[in-house]
Amino acid sequence: MNPDILRERQNATFDIEKLTNILDGGAERTNRRREIREVLVLNDPDFDYGTPTSLPTMILKLREYGISDPVEINWYKSMYWGTGREALGLHYVMFLPTLYTQCDSEQFNKWVPLIIGTYAQTEMGHGTHLRGLETTATFDPATQEFVMHSPTVTSIKWWPGGRNPLFLPLIFLSIPLSASLFDLFLSGFALPTCSGIVIGDIGPKFGFDAVDNGYLKLEHVRIPRENMLMKYAQVKPDGSYVKPLSSKLTYGTMVFIRSLIVGNAGIVLSQCCTIAIRYSAVRHQSEIRAGEAEPQILDYQTQQHKLFPLLATAYAFLFAGQYMIDTYNRISGDINQGDLSEMPELHALSAGLKAFTTWTANTGIEVCRMSCGGHGYSRSSALPDIYVEFTPSCTYEGENTVMMLQTARFLMKSYRQVQAGQQLSGAVSYLNKVHHRVMAPQAVSSQLDLNLNTLVDLYEIRAAMLVELAAQSIQQESARGKCQEDSWNNSTIDLVRASDAHCHYMVLKMFRDKVDQIEDPGVHSVMSTLAHLYAIHGMGNFTGDFLQAGVLTGAQVPSVSKCLKGLLAEVRPSAVLLVDAFDHHDKMLNSVLGRHDGNVYEAMFEWARSSPLNRTEVHESFHKHLKPLQAKL
């Protein structure tokens, strides 16, 4: 064990295992997760890092070990996700949930055994604008079939992920059911791979290489009427159409994935913080006091300022991910019972948090990489690979700006309801409260020795102010004679800013609520410090908002920075212990810099020696390119 890391783990002020239990949802969950990891992954001869694991293999393993609990299945699945092994993950993450949420029971029982499929919704010309999808599905009553067709080059399905559909028995098509008979509704169809479809790979990508993203062109392909997913809407044999309770029910898979992505952002950020903070504890560089030994780079205030707010954010997003999945499960359960009352709230929350957490984590991964200097740029750190695997999450499953604008749509509607005197419930209820109350600056302590509840209040007021400013922008545009759509478009910068602030407030509130539930004094203390750091760091980044909201004065601004520095110093002794609590196994982290034992340099030399470029005395390229040149010199 590296002596620096050993020293960092002495004098712990809190019980690491208890914090790990909180992250897992209890000690039993932690034990079970470790058992699954040990048995199904680390000690499984079939599990080879970087080798795409086939879905059938995963299914058989799950059955072999009797794993049927959805939470446990997700643990198993997420041990693959983002690690270059999620080759068929899309089927678990997208295809199966679509069968669960969009099929009637007969269809579900018929198709689940086939379970390898893809989710083909995006087209070359449209990914975001679903109502613009061009693929047609036209019902032919004479033959009781749908005729599926790609009428234009831009209608070719583009990006469906996870094993080239050529080998898939089933493809989920998400298509506007467009015909003169009924409205344009997005509907799902199960398309068996058959003649009349042209399939291929879309070519090399930035990353995400374990998932082969393909294209699918339909040439008047006929499928049985029964292949339309009919849980919510049906086309009867006579061609009549039974509408769904809501046209957005077919968007259900996307809402589910967005809800998953929130916690995944926390996991990925926790991985990167583990790597960067452990490395920063063993890396010595330069000097603080002339003539003294080179310090651990974790003792530089700038290094702490880079990493500790991200550490706090990782915990915040892990707790937000738990809240999001719990909320998704509760509301989707109600929807299954026909109660759609909270569907708009679920959409607004999942869309906004998906965008907020992935944008923040995406930036955070790069900060972690750069905080490791040159070795962070080596793939031995794992940070470059984590980045290229994670960054598309800002685009897929709802492009982030578009998602923020969806949340803004809900906020504007809520704001108008408050203006009309309605009492709101749920995540936006603060708009009622804050509309009538603005905290005066004098109420904010000049020393910013704010407790968490006060900090949550300040974020609430900031969000409410930005919601109001966005609404006023729309009103001003309308007053200038702009139509509703142009007034909206000319206010979208404000609208995204309002949604971002709303999500920031929601995440801090969830963090505070989780800290309040922690009974162990040591764990409560360190998590309270992290929650403070998360809030104060945000105030430092968005000081103008808090000044504009009237909850911070210019004279108090220096206190924000002073408070931040104090919190960084407070976190320093616990930093390595806080990443240990994430409990990332070396084999899963796959990072020379993030090793639990901190023996980075020895491992780095071995890693380099194992490079393919070092496996032969002289690389073949010498003989092919250089040696012929030598002969001419």
Ligand X SMILES: CCCCCCCC/C=C\CCCCCCCCCC(=O)SCCNC(=O)CCNC(=O)[C@H](O)C(C)(C)COP(=O)(O)OP(=O)(O)OC[C@H]1O[C@@H](n2cnc3c(N)ncnc32)[C@H](O)[C@@H]1OP(=O)(O)O
Residue 171 corresponds to which amino acid?
A: I
Cite the beta strand spans of 308-424 per DSSP E: none
Q: CA nearest 552: which of 480, 474, 455? A: 455
Q: Is 135 in the site for ligand FAD (CB under 6 A)?
A: no
Looking up tokens 């504890």 gives 281
DSSP 8-state code for residue 378:
S
Instruction: Single out the segment in contact with ligand X by CB under 6 A; choices: 339-347, 365-373, 456-464, 470-478.
Output: 339-347
424 near ligand X, rule: CB under 6 A:
no
Binding to ligand FAD by residue 603, rule CB under 6 A? Answer: no
Instruction: Using the Cα atoms of residue 391, residue 397, residue 399 and residue 401 in order, give the sign of their dihedral.
Output: negative
Contact positions with ligand X (CB under 6 A) in 58-77: 74, 77
Taking phi over 0 as left and psi of -120 to 50 as alpha, with beta for the rest, 405 belongs to: alpha
- The annotation status of 161 as a binding-site residue, yes or no, is yes
- Of positions 9, 18, 34, 409, contacts ligand X by CB under 6 A: 409
The entry of ligand X, ligand FAD, none that residue 182 binds, CB within 5 to 8 Å by partner kind: none
Regarding 392 and contact with ligand FAD (CB under 6 A), the answer is yes
Give the 3-state DSSP-derived string for 523-549, with helices as H, strands as E and coil as C: HHHHHHHHHHHHHHHHHHHCHHHHHHC
Closer residue to ligand X in complex, CB, 71/626: 71
User: What's the DSSP call for residue 103?
Assistant: S
**Sheet strands (E) in 83-151:** 117-120, 136-140, 145-149
Torsion on CA atoms 274, 280, 281, 285, rounded to nearest 10: 170
Work out what residue 131 binds among ligand X, ligand FAD, none; the CB cut-off runs from 5 to 8 Å by kind: ligand X
DSSP 8-state class, residue 232: S
Stretch near ligand X under the rule CB under 6 A, chosen from 25-33, 341-349, 362-370, 422-430? 341-349
Q: Which of 118, 121, 271, 529 binds ligand X (CB under 6 A)?
A: 121
188 touches ligand X by CB under 6 A: no
Beta bridge partners of 296: 284
Examine residue 300 and tell whether it contacts ligand X (CB under 6 A).
no
Contact region with ligand FAD (CB under 6 A), list: 158-166, 233-241, 380-388, 535-543? 158-166
Closest listed residue to residue 581, CA positions, set 4, 7, 9, 6: 9
Active site includes 397?
yes
- 100 binds ligand FAD per the rule CB under 6 A: no
Q: How many residues bind ligand X (CB under 6 A)?
A: 38
Binding partner of 343, given ligand FAD, ligand X, none, CB within 5-8 angstroms per partner class: ligand X
CB of 409 to ligand X, least distance (A): 5
Instruction: Compare residues 408 and 564 and give the one whose CB is closer to ligand FAD.
Output: 408
C-alpha R_g of the chain: 27
Taking CB positions, which residue lies at the least distance from ligand FAD?
127
DSSP 91: I
Joined tokens for residue 451:
């407790």
Applying CB under 6 A, does 321 fall inside the site for ligand X? no
For ligand X, which residue of 20, 21, 78, 487 counts as binding (CB under 6 A)?
78
Binding range to ligand FAD, per CB under 6 A, among 71-79, 126-134, 187-195, 456-464: 126-134
Residues numbered 225-264 forming contacts with ligand X, rule: CB under 6 A = 248, 251, 254-255, 257, 260-261, 264
Q: Does 223 bind ligand FAD (CB under 6 A)?
A: no
C-alpha span between 107 and 346 (Å, rounded): 26
Catalytic one of 8, 86, 123, 397: 397
Q: Which one, of 25, 629, 630, 11, lies nearest residue 318 by Cα?
A: 25
Rounded to the nearest 10 degrees, what angle do helices 492-517 and 521-541 cross at? 170
Residue 30 labeled ligand binder: no
Stretch that binds ligand X, among 340-348, 431-439, 574-582, 600-608 (CB under 6 A): 340-348
**Which residue's CB is nearer to ligand X, number 162 or number 309?**
162
Closer to ligand FAD at the Cβ: 127 or 263? 127
List Cα–Cα distances, 497 to 205, 352, 401, 501, in angstroms.
Answer: 31, 11, 10, 6
Q: Does 161 bind ligand FAD (CB under 6 A)?
A: yes
Please pick, from the candidates 396, 513, 547, 585, the single residue that binds ligand FAD as defined by CB under 6 A. 396
Q: Using the rule CB under 6 A, which residue among 19, 33, 37, 80 binds ligand X?
A: 80
Nearer Cβ to ligand X, position 161 or 538?
161
| Closest to ligand FAD by CB, 19 or 229 | 229
User: Residues 392, 398, 400, 405: what is their CA dihedral angle, to the nearest 10 degrees?
Assistant: 170
Strand 234-235 with 241-242, pairing: antiparallel
For residue 433, give Cα distances in angstroms to 130, 258, 304, 423, 500: 36, 29, 37, 9, 20
User: How many other β-carbons are positioned within 10 Å of the β-carbon of residue 585?
Assistant: 14
Left (φ > 0), alpha (ψ -120 to 50) or beta: where does 194 sit? beta
* Integer Cα distance of 10 and 31 in angstroms: 24
Contacts with ligand FAD by CB under 6 A lie at 90, 119-122, 126-128, 159-161, 208, 213, 392, 395-396, 399, 401-402, 405
Note the residues at the interface with ligand X (CB under 6 A). Answer: 74, 77-78, 80-81, 86, 89-90, 92-94, 119, 121-122, 127-131, 161, 248, 251, 254-255, 257, 260-261, 264, 343-344, 347, 396-398, 402, 406, 409, 413
Catalytic residues: 397
